[in-house]
Amino acid sequence: MNWPKSVKVIDVTPRDGLQDATGELTSEQKIELCKDLYAAGVPSVEITAFVSPKWVPLMRDAETVANALRDQPDTIALVPNHKGFERALRTGVDAVTFVVSASPIHQRENLRMSLSDSFEQFRGIAQTHASSQIRLRGAISCAFGSPFSTESITPETVADIAREYVDSGAVELSLADTVGVGTPQAIYDTILLVKQRVGHDIPITLHLHDRYALGLGNIVAALAAGVTVFETALAGLGGCPFVPDAPGNLDTEQVVHWLHLMGIHTGIDEHALVHVRKRLLKDLDASMVKQGKLR
C-alpha cells in the first residue's frame, strides 16, 4: 500500500464534541479552545453550529464564537438550513457544512424537514451566494448505517445524495458514520461509488464515530479509496443528540499519533494536543462541579 504523504485532520470538538456534552464551556473557553487547536497545528476547525438553541442549547453562542475567530485560518460552521446559513455568513466564517441525512427518520428528527426540502434550501443558498467566497460543504449523516432497524442505507443511496449535492453547488463532501456502524468494506465501497458518481475532483472528508473500535481500520479503508481528509474530536467527545446511544467521535490525538506512526504528515503537534485536551476536560469537569453534578 502506498500511503499518502500527508493527511488533513479537521477537529470538530467545538461543535460535535460539545453539542451534547455533559459539561458546558463558556463562550470565552470555546474561543480559547479553537485558538489552542489552531496553535497546535490543526489546519481547520469546525468552530460552532448555527442551529436553533431550542434543539441544541449548547450552541446558542454561535455568533459570539464565530465573530471572535474571524482572524483564524479556515473556520468551518455547521448549518442545517437557510436561516443558519445567513447567520453564519454574517460572521465571516470560511466554510459552512450543510447537513442532510441518508436516514429518512433521522432527517426528520434532526432537521425537522424532508430531504427534498433540505435540498431546496441548499440550492437556494448556492444560487443566491454563487459569487461569495464562502465554501459550501455538503455533509451526509448516517452514510454507513441508520440508527433505526427499520431502515437500510445502501452505497447507492449515499451516492445519489452526493450527486445531488454537487449538482446543487457543493464543492466538498463529508460522509459521516453518525451511528458508528461502518465497516472497512462498507467505507471503501461507498467512497468508491461516490467518487464514481461525482467525479474525482470533489474532495471527500470522512467523519467517523467509533462504536465497535473499527475506527482506525475504517481510516485505512478510506485511505485506500483515496480519502485524505478526516474529522475527529479531542478525547473522542461528541455524538448526535438525535441518535439513541450515539457513540463518540474518533479521538484526534489517537488518529494523529497513528498517522504519524505510519509516516503520514499532518502538521499537528501531538504534545500540544495533549495540553489542549487536558485543559478542555478540566474545564468541562469544573462546569459540572459548578452545576452540582460532580463533587
Positions marked catalytic: 240
Q: Can you say whether residue 99 is alpha, beta or left, with left for phi > 0 and alpha for psi between -120 and 50 degrees?
A: beta
Give CA–CA dist 80/33, Å, rounded.
Answer: 23
Measured distance CA(8)–CA(11) in Å, rounded: 10
Name the DSSP class of 247.
P
Q: Is 130 exposed, middle or buried (0-12, 13-18, 19+ CB in 10 A)?
A: exposed
Rounded Cα gap, residues 49 and 33, in angstroms: 15
Three-class secondary structure of residue 258 per DSSP: helix
* Rounded-to-5 percentages of helix, strand, coil across the chain: 45, 15, 40
Cα Rg of the chain (Å, integer):
18
Sort residue 252 into left (φ over 0), alpha (ψ -120 to 50) or beta. alpha
Q: Which triple of cell numbers denotes residue 117?
A: 426540502
| E-strand stretches of 180-240 | 204-208, 229-232
Q: Distance between CA atoms of 69 and 91, rounded to whole angstroms?
A: 9
- Pinpoint the alpha helices (H) of 10-103: 27-39, 62-68, 82-91
Q: Does residue 106 sit in helix, strand or coil? A: helix
What's the rounded Cα separation, in Å, for the pair 59 and 81? 15
